Structure 1
Amino acid sequence: MSHHLLLIIHLLSAAIWVGGHLLLVFGFLPQALKEKNQIIILDYERKYEPVGMTALVLLVITGILMAYKYGVSIEYWFQFETPIEKVVSTKLALLLLTVLFALSAQFRVLPKLEKNAEKLPEMTFHILSVTIIGVLMVVFGSFVRYGGL
């Protein structure tokens, strides 16, 4: 697959992943917190999750394929030696953080949130963290255009 097509898929997937989280943070989270109504968040999660998770999987696949096209194969991950390695490694580290937050939310916070609105602050922390990480990944990805960090 051509690098350009991979980039287009990657950028569209990033728009869905990060855009969906920004919509959650600015569109739904304030209302849920104001009303102390966790159902607003849970309803959004149920609707967004199939699209968002598909976008995240595509981001990972296209990101890895593009890293290989830039010569950053698995043996160079987390080396932080060349400018492109720095971008790829930083984005991989942020991805691992995202996965940890997602697992925590899925198995620890969301089951409790279903029954108890008092878990909204903890879920808010998870939502804000994943959103900030997503925005950071977009920013770091933009440095590839300039040859890396």
Structure 2
Amino acid sequence: MILHHFVLIIHLLAATIWVGGHLLLAICYLPTALKKKDPHIILNFEKKFEALGMSSLALLIITGIWMAYDFGVTMETWFAFKSGFEKVVSIKLILLFCTFICAICAQFYVIPNLNETNIKRIAVIIISVTSIGVAMLVLGSTLRYGGI
């Protein structure tokens, strides 16, 4: 149980960085970038946050799967949606997949062509990833009471 609690703390710290960084980007940097039509504001933030953010995301995936197994939600029961824990883990995995889709779109289609005229495309991705992160945080909080 002590190990599970330690893993939970690591998970929560990583979530703080991941979700907090995206909230900072969406609330503080994105409005300024849109107002000035300056994609460099977003790109500069991304450059500074990327290593820490991606490390946090990796920790979230590792610790999330670890804790899912601790709760008896193994790969065989992912997407079974039977128990409250299975529902939360499965929905979080779907949301993680959506995050990856957003990241692929951003890295290969939006960022390489980002300029003042199409800056709203990255705004949609930023708002999407931030919303997904907050949703995952809320879902995770339900596990304290047995999930949804």
What TM-score range do you get, normalising by the shorter chain? over 0.9
1:10 aligned onto 2:11 = yes
Paired with 1:138 and 1:43, the residues of 2 have a C-alpha distance of 26
Counterpart in 1 of 2:91? 90
Paired with 2:147 and 2:10, the residues of 1 have a C-alpha distance of 20
* TM-score, structure 2 normalization: 0.98
Counterpart in 2 of 1:142? 141
Q: State how 1:93-108 maps to structure 2 within 5 Å.
A: 93-108=94-109
Percent of aligned pairs with the same residue? 55
Q: 1:29 Cα shift?
A: 0.5
Q: 1:117 Cα shift?
A: 1.6
Paired with 2:77 and 2:69, the residues of 1 have a C-alpha distance of 10
Paired with 2:139 and 2:50, the residues of 1 have a C-alpha distance of 24
Paired with 2:41 and 2:55, the residues of 1 have a C-alpha distance of 22
Task: Figure out how many residues of one structure are paired with residues of the other and give that number.
Answer: 147
Counterpart in 2 of 1:46? 47
Counterpart in 1 of 2:69? 68
* TM-score, structure 1 normalization: 0.97
Paired with 1:29 and 1:82, the residues of 2 have a C-alpha distance of 39
Counterpart in 2 of 1:109? 110
Q: Which letter maps to 1:11?
A: L
Q: Secondary structure at the match of 1:145?
A: helix
Q: 1:118 Cα shift?
A: 1.5
Q: 1:141 Cα shift?
A: 0.2
1:81 aligned onto 2:82 = yes
Q: State how 1:12-31 maps to structure 2 within 5 Å.
A: 12-31=13-32
Q: 1:40 Cα shift?
A: 0.2
Paired with 1:11 and 1:127, the residues of 2 have a C-alpha distance of 21
Runs ≥4 residues deviating over 3 A: none
Q: Secondary structure at the match of 1:118?
A: coil
Paired with 1:38 and 1:67, the residues of 2 have a C-alpha distance of 38
Provide, for residues 104-125 of structure 1, a one-character-per-residue CA deviation record: whole Å limited to 9, x for no partner: 1011100001xx2222100000
The alignment yields a C-alpha RMSD, in angstroms, of: 0.8
Stretches of structure 2 that go unaligned for 5 or more consecutive residues are: none
Paired with 1:119 and 1:18, the residues of 2 have a C-alpha distance of 25
Stretches of structure 1 that go unaligned for 5 or more consecutive residues are: none
